[in-house]
Amino acid sequence: MTPLLILGAGSMAVEVLDIAETTGAFDIVGFVVNRPDAPAELEGRPVFTLSNLPPGIACVAGIVSNQRRAFIEEVAALGHPFVSVIHPSAQISRRATVHSGCVVHPGVIVASNTVIGHHCLLNRGALIGHDNRLEPFTTVGPGANLAGALTVGPGAYLGVGCVIRDHLTIGPGAVVAAGAVVVKSVEPNSLVGGVPAQVLKTGVDGL
């Protein structure tokens, strides 16, 4: 089994632990945080900080927010490789690509010729259509439904149960609110919501 460290110590980190255990492919060494008030352990496993991190162990991020990027880059700079953790119930086309550092939850479907960039999080039951490109650090919420031929920019956050029409672009750092129905492209760093989705705020940077 591959030794694994999970970045984060919140509820998503515990979910990633559960997925990693379910695969049977990982020996979970512990969790990693970047704050001084870290608990000593979580789920019976030690919680490390960057100052006492065991060297060379593969990592994956158990953090929902796209603000995980800075932490991931800090850990990568210490020489840690990143691996993807994919629940056995996820259905990923043999023609799709899932890059390193991703977390794919139960019930996710990824269709043919879709590319999932590094460090993306695909939450429970998300449906990712064909010929999509999700750039690194994208977060897709539970039950989101992405049609085909979409481009989703780095750090975008697609909320719970949103629906996105085909052949659109979701800009970098954009946020699609829970339950929104997106029928036109979303500008970078914009928050959209509603049915059909309208711009609610600008100047955001994911969640």
- The DSSP-derived string for 101-126 is T-EE-TT-EE-TT-EE-TT-EE-TT-
In a domain, 205, yes or no: no
| Domain interval for residue 178 | 85-198
The residues, ordered by sequence, that sit 6+ positions from 183 with a Cβ below 8 Å of its Cβ are 165, 168, 196, 197
Reference 4, options 24, 23, 30; nearest CA is 30
The mean pLDDT of the chain is 96
Q: Are residues 34 and 128 in the same domain?
A: no
Task: Report the candidate in 147, 130, 144, 143 with the shortest Cα–Cα distance to residue 93.
Answer: 130
Name the amino acid, one letter, at 110: V
97 plus 6 within the same structural domain:
no
Report the pLDDT value the prediction gives residue 66, as an integer from 0 to 100. 83
pLDDT of 44 reads: 95
Task: Note whether 62 and 13 are within 8 A (CB).
Answer: yes
pLDDT at residue 72, rounded to an integer: 97
Closest residue by Cα to residue 15 from 24, 6, 5: 6
Q: Which sign, positive or negative, has the C-alpha torsion 41, 46, 51, 52?
A: positive
Q: Is residue 52 domain-shared with residue 98, that is, in the same domain?
A: no
The answer on 40 and 101 residing in a single domain is no
- In this prediction, residue 51 carries a pLDDT of 87
d(CA 30, CA 108): 25
* pTM of the predicted protein model: 0.95
The reply to whether 108 and 193 lie within a common domain is yes
pLDDT, residue 189, reads 97
Residue-by-residue pLDDT tens, the chain, 207 positions: 999 999 999 999 999 999 999 999 999 999 999 887 778 899 999 999 998 899 999 999 999 998 899 999 999 999 999 999 999 999 999 999 999 999 999 999 999 999 999 999 999 999 999 999 999 999 999 999 999 999 999 999 999 999 999 999 999 999 999 999 999 999 999 999 999 999 999 999 998
